[in-house]
Structure 1
Amino acid sequence: MDYRMTKDERESFLADLHVGVIGISSPKRAPILLPIWYTYEPGGEINFITSKDSKKTQLLATAGRFTLCVQNEDPPYQYVSVEGRITSTEDAGHEKDLRPIAYRYLGKKEGEEYVEETKGVEELLIRMMPEKWSTADYGKEIA
């Protein structure tokens, strides 16, 4: 049985709300895996924000690419994994970049609290265009 998602299915799944896990190559050890909040619109780029002085930022600058995996942890199990090059890195704005992601993951009230608590933190907006996709929808087995 073929469990792969169609292009529309995989893009819709990736655009849904999931905590993503990124994998970044590391020169002296196994790849580093870290959870992230992200945004994605079908056909577009993956966007996420991270602190300018984080280890994640250093590894991303060196690697120039990363893998992102998102999954449904309840049956029927599904996942989408994408990899690609970083297309841009720029200073993140609290209003235009952080607030929408915080609201997406925390809701308006708690998202607003998060935005207020992180004022003054220098952050980067990182973008990646998916180049390679790996997917599975095990619900296709029971459909």
Structure 2
Amino acid sequence: MSVEDREDFLAGLHVGILGVDDPRSGGGPLLVPLWYSYRPGGLVTIQTGRKTLKARLIRDAGRFSLCAQDESAPYRYVSVEGPVVAVEDPLPPAEHEALAHRYLDTDTAAAYLAANRQQLTDNILIRMRPQRWRTADFSAFAAEFDP
């Protein structure tokens, strides 16, 4: 993908898979699905509970990866990895609201926010600067097989 294509794709609506080094017991990385936000040329932003394993591992590693994908053909994905450049604690209410409205329709977002007010006191905001990109767009490959 071109730089513009990969940034537009990452800015699109996808559930991201966060990956962070997990040195416990010699296992692999911690991988978890989550909501995220990104604007082309900007930072990847995630929210999580300040006392979660995910937050602790990100703090320890100082970086994380995020992968977003299309789950239907033609398949595409963008993976970014980079350093944490900011942690906002407590979670700014406007950021919490914006993420809910990014993933949910207006009525569902309002209900979600009302039901999850506690997250404003429990969650933090983590910002990562994309440093390494990996991408694939199988559109051209799939076109070869169209009848």
For the pair 1:9 / 2:5, whether they are aligned, the reply is yes
For the pair 1:117 / 2:115, whether they are aligned, the reply is yes
For the pair 1:136 / 2:136, whether they are aligned, the reply is yes
Distance 2:50 2:105 in 1: 25
Distance 1:15 1:140 in 2: 22
Q: With structure 2 as the length reference, what TM-score do the two structures score?
A: 0.90
List aligned pairs for 1:63-82, cutoff 5 A: 63-82=61-80
1:63 offset after TM fit, Å? 0.8
Deviations 1:80-134 (A, max 9, x none): 000000011112122x111110011111111111111121332101000100000
Query: Cα RMSD between the aligned structures?
Result: 1.1
Q: Partner residue of 1:85?
A: 83
Bigger drift between 119-128 and 34-43 goes to: 119-128
Structure 2 unaligned runs (5+)?
none
Deviations 1:21-50 (A, max 9, x none): 010101122100001101100000001111
Return the letter of the residue paired with 1:77: Y
Bigger drift between 127-136 and 103-112 goes to: 103-112
Distance 2:10 2:140 in 1: 18
Bigger drift between 113-122 and 52-61 goes to: 113-122
1:140 offset after TM fit, Å? 1.9
List aligned pairs for 1:15-94, cutoff 5 A: 15-28=11-24, 29-91=27-89, 92-94=91-93
Task: List structure 1 runs of 4+ shifted beyond 3 angstroms.
Answer: none
Give the secondary structure class of the aligned counterpart of 2:104: helix
Q: With structure 1 as the length reference, what TM-score do the two structures score?
A: 0.93
Give the secondary structure class of the aligned counterpart of 2:118: coil
Give the secondary structure class of the aligned counterpart of 1:18: coil
Distance 1:69 1:13 in 2: 11
Return the letter of the residue paired with 2:50: K
Give the secondary structure class of the aligned counterpart of 2:17: strand
**What fraction of aligned residue pairs are identical, expressed as a percent?**
41
